[in-house]
Chain A
Amino acid sequence: MSRVLMRGNEAIAEAAIRSGLKCYFCYPITPQGELVEYMARELPKRGGVFLQAESEVAAINMVYGAAAAGVRAMTSSSSPGISLKQEGISYIAMARLPCVIVNMMRGGPGLGNIAPAQGDYFQATKGGGHGDYHLIVLAPSTVPEAAELVRLAFELSDRYRVPAMILADGMIGQMMEPVELPEPVEPEDIPERPWAVTGAKGRPKNVITSFDLEPEGLKEMSLALQETYREIERNEVRWEEVETEDAELLIVAYGTMGRIAKTVVRLARQEGIKVGLLRPITLWPFPYEPVRELAERVRTVLTVELSAGQMWEDVRLAVEGRAETPFYGELGGVVPSPKRILEEVRKYVG
């Protein structure tokens, strides 16, 4: 299979179309504009619906409708736009509908800027909107991995009827790398949706709803949802380890910082510093167990993030005092270079 040089935004769009995407709704925002453009150009030609909505709120509610009608549906945006979608995402989560949401994070809070940042970790992994819910959150660190995880996002979202989010940033969205695109899915590869509201002629009607006015009824719905989350936590935790076998200091970093940290590991080892990397691929469910096991063996677990310390909370929950847990973060869209991170590493070794 040949490799194609693509931007992350384009690779995500193409991978989604090859994953059987039927409906894409959006409201444009940088730094994911190329994703919107690609969909506008390609999706209608390939049997899908592209619609630029009047707002982010409208776009996510169109996703809600399309997912309820039983097709693979998707939206994408960047931080402030994702904030606007939160109400709809909460409804979709409780209505048990599969869909994929792409967040190409940018510097924030507020309008912020369009540079790479990871300040939406809490929003993505802890619910984001109102109520007790989670998204399956996948964090690619390269363009080819972004394409791969889009396919996985649709599959997991269908399997568990839980919305999935691709959480990346402008760096992954804007940069180009060679990509091997996934093979297009056949219609029969997409799981059947016996629950979809497709017209009830000749069968009992299906109901898609996010509410029950009776507390006992709503409790049942909520417990079923929580049971699904436990199942996802048992089955779907994904992460990558680099040179962890003999590491004395473990870096935990995801996405853009995860790949920059790989260079840090290499530079550190050239100096004889035993550094390893654990890169969470699923941010929810978070790889608590793998971090905990490594924390038993290392002296330091250094979290590196483009935020003020959001994933750091999950790392500390995993480590629970087994190792020291310093933090290094950058804010405002500043991306530290490998050498800058290596300086941080040196503070804790030797």
Chain B
Amino acid sequence: MEKAVIFAGFGGQGILLAGKILARAGMNRGLEVTWLPSYGPEMRGGTANCTVVVADSPIGSPVVDNPEALVAMNAPSLDRFEGRVAAGGVIVVNSSLVKRAVKRHDVRAVPVPANDIAAELGNPRVLNMVALGALVRGLDVLPLEAVEEAMEEELRGRGRDKLIELNRRALRRGFSEAEKYLA
């Protein structure tokens, strides 16, 4: 098993952290992982993406032609990466910001209004966890609990403890949103 995910969106949407939490969850469950960020001279509001590979054997290339999943948090990200997703793969689209549908018919589209759900949960910044929850359902290689644990490790003890429960709710909400399209 080797699966790759591209997370892409605006800088500030928590793309890199969402990818890191997935990678940490994989590592904690004994898998091999790579987390490769785009690290160009970007600023908040610019574009950001990262590629996460999760595998049960050593990973060669962290650069991936055709990922099994894409998380597109804004329209430019969907435009840029839609064509590269492997046939049969999953595209999680932040439908709060992306107004068009996924064009591909050989992938499973999961539109999730991440901004709206995050606002509803009380903090617009947890949109990345909503999207990650949906991705975890779509990717189907790690249980949601593993990702919740990794999120807790990532936030605990860094002045963000009080955000753990909120982020957990966001992950679960994203997971169940995806269920509507993938069940």
Interface residues of A (CB under 8 A from B): 3, 5, 30-31, 114-115, 170-171, 174-178, 259-266, 335, 337-339
From B36, B40, B60, B65, give the contact of A175 (CB < 8 A): B36
Q: Which 4 A-B pairs have the closest CB atoms?
A: A262-B60, A263-B60, A263-B61, A176-B35
From A3, A174, A260, give the contact of B63 (CB < 8 A): A260
Q: Nearest residue in A to B154 (C-beta to C-beta)?
A: A5
Determine if B27 and A3 form an interchain contact, defined as CB atoms under 8 angstroms apart.
yes
Determine if A259 and B23 form an interchain contact, defined as CB atoms under 8 angstroms apart.
no
Determine if B63 and A177 form an interchain contact, defined as CB atoms under 8 angstroms apart.
no
By a CB distance below 8 angstroms, the chain B residues around A260 are 60-61, 63
Q: Complex: how many Å from CA A178 to CA B39?
A: 20
B34 at the interface (CB under 8 A from A): yes
The proximity string for B residues 9-50 relative to A, scoring 1 for CB distances below 8 Å and 0 otherwise, is: 000000000001001100100001111110111000000000
Determine if A259 and B24 form an interchain contact, defined as CB atoms under 8 angstroms apart.
no
Given A5-B24, A5-B27, A178-B27: A262 and B33 interface contact (C-beta under 8 Å): no
Offer 28 A-B interface pairs, CB within 8 angstroms, sorted by A: A5-B20, A5-B23, A5-B24, A5-B27, A5-B35, A31-B39, A114-B41, A171-B36, A174-B36, A174-B37, A175-B34, A176-B20, A176-B23, A176-B33, A176-B35, A177-B34, A178-B32, A178-B33, A259-B62, A260-B60, A260-B63, A261-B60, A263-B61, A266-B60, A335-B63, A337-B61, A337-B65, A338-B61
By a CB distance below 8 angstroms, the chain A residues around B20 are 5, 176
Q: Complex: how many Å from CA A308 to CA B42?
A: 28
**Closest approach, in angstroms, between the C-beta of A156 and any C-beta of chain B?**
25
Q: Nearest residue in A to B30 (C-beta to C-beta)?
A: A3
From A170, A176, A262, A266, give the contact of B34 (CB < 8 A): A176
**Closest approach, in angstroms, between the C-beta of B56 and any C-beta of chain A?**
13
By a CB distance below 8 angstroms, the chain B residues around A265 are 60
The proximity string for B residues 117-153 relative to A, scoring 1 for CB distances below 8 Å and 0 otherwise, is: 0000000000000000000000000000000000000
